């Protein structure tokens, strides 16, 4: 008789990852599958294209948890595009 074992998978919600860019360590946190899809939906224009400024703002608010960043932060810190690319990659790997 075959034993039916089901693998218990751990939720990705709240998963964290750290990256160092230009001497600053950034901590990303996964907001969950549905929240990520909704985040992406909010960042698209009427043609379905992602609007970078809206997407970056969502990442700053919902994904980068440390340090807390906003547009003013990037006026005095380097690495905006690199951090955003890392955060985008992080989100994509969770979906």
pLDDT, tens digit, 9 for 90 and up, residues 10-48: 899 999 999 999 999 999 999 999 999 999 999 999 999
In a domain, 68, yes or no: yes
pLDDT at 59 over 60: yes
pLDDT reported for residue 4: 64
In a domain, 49, yes or no: yes
pLDDT reported for residue 3: 60
Counting every residue written for the chain, the total comes to 95
Q: Is 63 within 8 Å of 91 (Cβ atoms)?
A: yes
The tally of domains found in the chain comes to: 1
| Region 41-58 average pLDDT | 97
In a domain, 14, yes or no: no
Residues 6+ positions from 73 with CB-CB distance below 8 Å: 67
Distances in Å between the Cα of 8 and the Cα atoms of 11, 29, 38, 41 are 10, 22, 26, 30
Angle at 46 between CA 41 and CA 84, to 5 degrees: 45
In a domain, 17, yes or no: no
In a domain, 48, yes or no: yes
In a domain, 89, yes or no: yes
d(CA 19, CA 23): 10
- pLDDT cut 70: percent of the chain above it: 95
Q: Is 84 within 8 Å of 59 (Cβ atoms)?
A: yes
- The parent domain of residue 47 ranges over 32-94
């Amino acid at each position: 008789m075959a034993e039916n074992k089901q693998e218990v998978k751990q939720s990705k919600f709240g998963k964290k990852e750290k990256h160092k860019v230009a001497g600053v360590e950034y901590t990303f946190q996964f907001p969950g599958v549905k929240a990520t899809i909704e985040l992406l939906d909010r960042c698209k224009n009427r043609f379905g294209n992602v609007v970078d400024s809206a997407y970056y703002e969502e990442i700053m608010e919902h994904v980068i948890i440390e340090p807390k960043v906003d547009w003013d932060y990037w006026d005095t810190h380097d690495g905006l595009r690199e951090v955003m690319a890392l955060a985008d990659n992080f989100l994509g790997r969770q979906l």
